């Protein structure tokens, strides 16, 4: 039997025993959604929960991939295994990479302690926002205990995904305005740790002051955990050990005060609600095929009824 047709349970056993090809194949099933993805979920869900996700996000060009690469190096020095999910069209991890970045990443390409995967949605019902936590749980269930999730810090779905990590690191650059952009993109609210990357450039203190000021305004400053601000030069790894120590400290802090459990419960509730919504959406698609629907569509196209009123009428006919 070829790997292609192996049942999900066998693929999972192989992946747990270190077969990277099997793991890659399972991740493709998750991306694709459908019955096979459901089967992956059924098997992995009870076995997950010990892994820890660290989100890395920031504007394109902030140096997230270089930072991710530096963190991988740091974790490997400490004999930690690590998996990376890249949800970032500008990431060199996501294929079609620019040569320079690709070369940089090849440091880790042959290391069995590192597993890097870019995420796309090849038909998954819930898009990236539901496929990503499933993929993270799969990595968790096969024994990857540190899972880095790199997302671009622009866009509604992407910022939401970034905020769903156990610890979220927001990456900005020195210079006036960058932290303002981060704030506008909604990154201020999701940050547990700030990194000022490219800290060998001028403007680090300005950026730190901007961030401090925005923290003050946002009330985050008055929470028990005030997001620390770590200057880093990812290209030569300066500040990377301090960053990792801060992530570990944040983990210990939220593990200690019960916040981690609360966050994860909140996320699971949200995910469950979103799945219900997506299933209902699917039901809506099934519904939107009949004759009554065709008539309502025609009415909307002829502008005799507006789309919201048409939707109401349709939902009325099915009692929803």
Task: List residues near a second copy by CB under 8 A.
Answer: 38, 41-42, 45-46, 48-49, 59-61, 89-90, 94-96, 98, 127-128, 152, 154-158, 176-177, 180-181, 183-186, 265, 268-269, 271-273, 275-277, 279-281, 283-285, 287-288, 296-297, 300-301, 303-304, 306-312, 314-315, 320
SS3 state at 35: helix
**Closer by beta carbon to a second copy, 121 or else 167:** 121
CB of 266 to a second copy, least distance (A): 10
List b or e across 139-173, with b for residues whose CB sees 16 or more CB atoms inside 10 angstroms. Answer: bbbbebebbbbbbbbbbeebbbbbbbbbbbbbbbb
Token pair 């970034």 is found at: 162
**Closer by beta carbon to a second copy, 1 or else 301:** 301
**Closer by beta carbon to a second copy, 31 or else 158:** 158
CB of 33 to a second copy, least distance (A): 10
**Closer by beta carbon to a second copy, 205 or else 265:** 265
List b or e across 30-44, with b for residues whose CB sees 16 or more CB atoms inside 10 angstroms. Answer: bbbbeebbebbbebb
CB of 129 to a second copy, least distance (A): 8
Q: Which long-range contacts (CB under 8 A, 24 or more apart) does 291-299 make?
A: 292/317
CB of 112 to a second copy, least distance (A): 28
CB of 250 to a second copy, least distance (A): 23
Could you give the CA distance from residue 66 to residue 176 in angstroms, rounded to a whole number? 22
CB of 78 to a second copy, least distance (A): 29
Token pair 């069995």 is found at: 112
- Record the tokens describing residue 255, joined without a space: 């593990």
**Closer by beta carbon to a second copy, 21 or else 213:** 213
**Closer by beta carbon to a second copy, 60 or else 123:** 60
Could you give the CA distance from residue 264 to residue 272 in angstroms, rounded to a whole number? 12
Cβ-based burial of 62 (10 A; exposed 0-12, middle 13-18, buried ≥19): buried
């Amino acid at each position: 039997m070829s790997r292609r047709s192996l049942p999900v349970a066998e693929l999972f056993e192989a992946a747990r025993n270190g077969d990277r090809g099997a793991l890659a194949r399972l991740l493709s099933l998750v991306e694709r959604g459908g019955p096979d993805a459901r089967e992956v979920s059924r098997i992995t869900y009870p076995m997950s929960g010990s892994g820890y996700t660290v989100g890395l996000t920031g504007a394109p060009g902030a140096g997230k991939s270089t930072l991710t690469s530096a963190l991988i190096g740091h974790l490997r020095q400490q004999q930690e295994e690590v998996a990376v999910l890249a949800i970032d069209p500008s990431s060199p991890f996501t294929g079609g990479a620019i040569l320079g970045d690709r070369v940089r990443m090849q440091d880790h390409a042959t290391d069995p302690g590192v597993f890097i995967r870019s995420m796309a949605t090849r038909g998954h019902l819930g898009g990236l926002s539901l496929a990503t936590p499933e993929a993270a749980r799969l990595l968790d269930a096969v024994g990857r205990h540190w899972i880095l999730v790199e997302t671009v810090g622009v866009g509604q779905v992407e910022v939401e995904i970034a905020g769903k990590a156990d610890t979220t690191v927001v990456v900005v650059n020195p210079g006036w305005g960058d932290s303002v952009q981060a704030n506008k993109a909604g990154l201020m609210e999701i940050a547990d740790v700030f990194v000022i990357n490219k800290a060998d450039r001028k403007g680090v203190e300005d950026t730190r002051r901007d961030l401090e000021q925005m923290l003050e305004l946002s009330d985050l400053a008055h929470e028990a955990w005030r997001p620390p601000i770590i200057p880093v030069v990812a290209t030569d790894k300066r500040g990377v050990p301090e960053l990792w120590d801060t992530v570990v400290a944040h983990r210990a802090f939220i593990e200690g005060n019960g916040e981690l459990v609360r966050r994860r419960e909140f996320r699971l509730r949200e995910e469950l609600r979103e799945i219900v919504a997506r299933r209902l959406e699917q039901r809506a698609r099934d519904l939107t095929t009949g004759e009554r629907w065709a008539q309502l569509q025609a009415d909307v196209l002829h502008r005799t009824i507006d789309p919201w009123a048409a939707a109401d009428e349709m939902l009325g006919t099915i009692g929803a």
